[in-house]
A and B are shown apart, each in its own frame.
Chain A
Amino acid sequence: MKILVPIKRVVDYNVKVRPKADGSDVDLANVKMAMNPFCEIAVEEAIRLKEASADTGVTIDEIVVVSIGPSKSQEQIRAAMAIGADRGILVETDDNLEPLALAKCLLKIYQDEAPGLVIFGKQSIDGDNNQTGQMFAALAGLAQATFASELKLSEQGVEVTREIDGGLQTLAMALPAVVTTDLRLNEPRYAALPNIMKAKRKPLAKITLEALGLECSPRVKTLEVAAPAARTAGVRVNSVDELVDKLVNEAKVV
């Protein structure tokens, strides 16, 4: 069985982004970029499933990562290969596609590759959409288990424990199926230097967005980006007594 993992190149999670002066977009000049953390977790999970083939009875022949984005996304595809993905596909475009358009592109790739499992990240930390996996599952007519914190693969299918607001929920799905990862699913490994070198020789196919023949014009236009309203500066209190006094007599919140 094959596993397909869609990954995104995003701003590094430590960067505090700011709007451009003209408010047209965020300022990403010279900021550090990385693989979206949830996508890293998705890649790691695919690798663990491949390594556990003997235990699960499900042999994973190949892990394919796919990214839709600028040419530089090859760095993130190589990073995924350096920890164990076998092959990469880059759908090259400088447009920042919306989740619906991404889902449509990924559907084409899915139809070509016919994987048994598609593992998404739950959310990209730039757009914070939390949509692409669900939209893809809808278009592909597949079952979905979002926000996964545990995944058990067997010949019968996949059982996924999901992190929901009230606690945990477990679902069972036949394959093929769609999973989106939450933070506690696993802790991604670091790439070893020899594997970084080896990753350079793994196959990476580049196709253009046009070649997929899709209509991807945006449905949602960003009119403005702005910094959120600033909070007024606070004060230092020197003792618990002072804190209690402020809370009771100044803020009047207790």
Chain B
Amino acid sequence: MSVLVLVEHDNQSLNPATLNVVTAAAQLEGDVDLLVAGSDCQSVADSAVKIAGVNKVFIADAPCYEHQLAENVSALTKELATNYQYVLCSATTTGKNVLPRVAALLDVQAISDVIAINSPDTFQRPIYAGNVIATVQSSDVIKALTIRSTAFDPAAVGDGAASIEVCAIVCDLGLSRFVKEALAVSDRPELTAADIVVSGGRGLQNGENFELLYTLADKIGAAVGASRAAVDAGFVPNDMQVGQTGKIVAPNLYIAVGLSGAIQHLAGMKESKIIVAINKDEDAPIMHVADYALVADLFDAVPELTEKLSPSN
């Protein structure tokens, strides 16, 4: 038995979500091998070999893999995966774009958003916006899984001693072409990996008012998220959306400000360790999920909280 993990990266550094996938992979049977497909991506392979528990790292370095185009990366992954019993990647937008395509090429049914591995063929995953957890058993010879990173600890980095093997397969299907990318730049921690997340909703009223949350976040080293209503209204960009159809987060502390806590929002944050809700409506659903619920006007409470909280008091 062996596991192939598709590494997520930007040709320079490894996306930390891959470390959680390696932990999930280690719970399956057999060697764990990694595939780094990219262009000028040697530095990614060099960090991948240091991940604890990894056996071998394949590096497929070609211009056609530069932007992780689904058609090319899937075709490549399929070629390698036929020698494995599992192919895994993280349940990020990159993983969700590529893995189902790999599975279809292999004629297997993929399993999305795995949160627990019960046995070599049995897994748990949330359905219906996380209102229900399904336990599912796969009969496919190759099991294709996307892994929800919040459900597995990151693998240790540093003491791994994997070998690197060059993979010369070039799958340039020429079906789609990369045009451009507009990536958010932020000095704050990455939303899905942050220890503390401060999120705002429609109650913030506009984009400028999100400054209140940024100030609070910067004081306590938090990432900032948002409800869909806040993103839809243009207060903040799409990459900040938390929820069923946005990002899944599970920080130690989630502070929900001026958002109601719709089912779809809860799906993305209810595994957080401690939830704080600040809302002027005591009956908003988020107030019933929160460990600490404060009925207040956010425009009073947030500045006061910012003033009174200090980084690791």
> Which residues of A are in contact with B by a Cβ distance under 8 Å?
11, 13-14, 16-19, 26, 98-100, 103, 122-123, 125-132, 134-139, 141-147, 149, 159, 162-174, 177, 182-184, 218-228, 231-232, 234-241, 243-244, 246-248, 251, 253-254
Q: Are the CB atoms of B274 and A247 closer together than 8 Å? A: yes
**23 A-B pairs in the complex with CB atoms less than 8 angstroms apart:** A99-B100, A125-B128, A128-B128, A130-B96, A131-B112, A134-B104, A138-B100, A141-B175, A163-B239, A168-B181, A168-B183, A170-B179, A171-B177, A174-B175, A219-B140, A220-B137, A221-B136, A225-B132, A231-B275, A231-B291, A240-B296, A240-B304, A253-B252
Q: Are the CB atoms of A225 and B133 closer together than 8 Å? A: yes
Collect the chain B residues with CB atoms within 8 Å of residue A137's CB.
Answer: 70-71, 101
Q: Are the CB atoms of A134 and B100 closer together than 8 Å? A: yes
Q: Which of B67, B98, B111 contacts A220 (CB 8 A)?
A: B111
Q: Which of A127, A168, A222, A232 contacts B182 (CB 8 A)?
A: A168
Collect the chain A residues with CB atoms within 8 Å of residue B176's CB.
Answer: 143-145, 171-173, 177
Considering the chains assembled together, what is the distance between the CA atoms of A146 and B232 in angstroms? 19
Considering the chains assembled together, what is the distance between the CA atoms of A123 and B146 in angstroms? 15
Q: Which of A16, A146, A228, A251 contacts B126 (CB 8 A)?
A: A228
Cβ-based interface call for B64 (8 A): no
Q: Are the CB atoms of A128 and B113 closer together than 8 Å? A: yes
Additional 16 contacts, C-beta under 8 A, given A168-B182, A234-B288: A16-B131, A128-B112, A128-B128, A135-B104, A137-B71, A138-B100, A147-B97, A159-B179, A167-B183, A182-B245, A219-B140, A220-B109, A222-B134, A223-B137, A226-B133, A247-B253
Collect the chain A residues with CB atoms within 8 Å of residue B92's CB.
Answer: 165
Considering the chains assembled together, what is the distance between the CA atoms of A218 and B140 in angstroms? 10
Q: Are the CB atoms of A228 and B133 closer together than 8 Å? A: yes
Q: Which B60-77 residues sit within 8 Å CB-CB of chain A? A: 67, 69-71, 74
Collect the chain A residues with CB atoms within 8 Å of residue B128's CB.
Answer: 11, 17, 26, 125-126, 128
Q: Are the CB atoms of B93 and A164 closer together than 8 Å? A: yes
Considering the chains assembled together, what is the distance between the CA atoms of A234 and B287 in angstroms? 9
What sequence of 0s and 1s flags, for each residue 232-254 of chain B, a beta carbon within 8 Å of any chain A beta carbon? 10000111000011010000110
Write the nearest CB–CB distance from A69 to chain B, whole angstroms: 17
Collect the chain B residues with CB atoms within 8 Å of residue A234's CB.
Answer: 275, 288-293
Q: Interface-forming stretch among B26-34, B48-56, B81-89, B305-313? A: B305-313
Bin the interface of chain B by size: 35 or more
Considering the chains assembled together, what is the distance between the CA atoms of A103 and B100 in angstroms? 11
Q: Are the CB atoms of A123 and B245 closer together than 8 Å? A: yes
Collect the chain B residues with CB atoms within 8 Å of residue A136's CB.
Answer: 104
Q: Which B171-185 residues sit within 8 Å CB-CB of chain A? A: 175-184
Collect the chain A residues with CB atoms within 8 Å of residue B247's CB.
Answer: 165
Cβ-based interface call for B103 (8 A): yes
Q: Are the CB atoms of A253 and B71 closer together than 8 Å? A: no
Q: Are the CB atoms of B74 and A138 closer together than 8 Å? A: yes
Q: Which B147-186 residues sit within 8 Å CB-CB of chain A? A: 175-184
Cβ-based interface call for B117 (8 A): no
Considering the chains assembled together, what is the distance between the CA atoms of A127 and B112 in angstroms? 9
Write the nearest CB–CB distance from A141 to chain B, whole angstroms: 8
Considering the chains assembled together, what is the distance between the CA atoms of A241 and B300 in angstroms? 13
With A144-B101, A219-B139 known as contacts, the answer to whether A236 contacts B179 (CB < 8 A) is no
Q: Are the CB atoms of A237 and B135 closer together than 8 Å? A: no
With A134-B104, A220-B109 known as contacts, the answer to whether A172 contacts B179 (CB < 8 A) is yes
Cβ-based interface call for B110 (8 A): yes
Cβ-based interface call for B264 (8 A): yes
Cβ-based interface call for B284 (8 A): no
Cβ-based interface call for B94 (8 A): yes
Looking at B122, B127, B184, the one whose CB has the most chain A CB atoms below 10 A away is: B127
Collect the chain A residues with CB atoms within 8 Å of residue B276's CB.
Answer: 243, 247
Write the nearest CB–CB distance from B27 to chain A, whole angstroms: 18
Collect the chain B residues with CB atoms within 8 Å of residue A226's CB.
Answer: 132-133, 135
Collect the chain B residues with CB atoms within 8 Å of residue A147's CB.
Answer: 93, 97
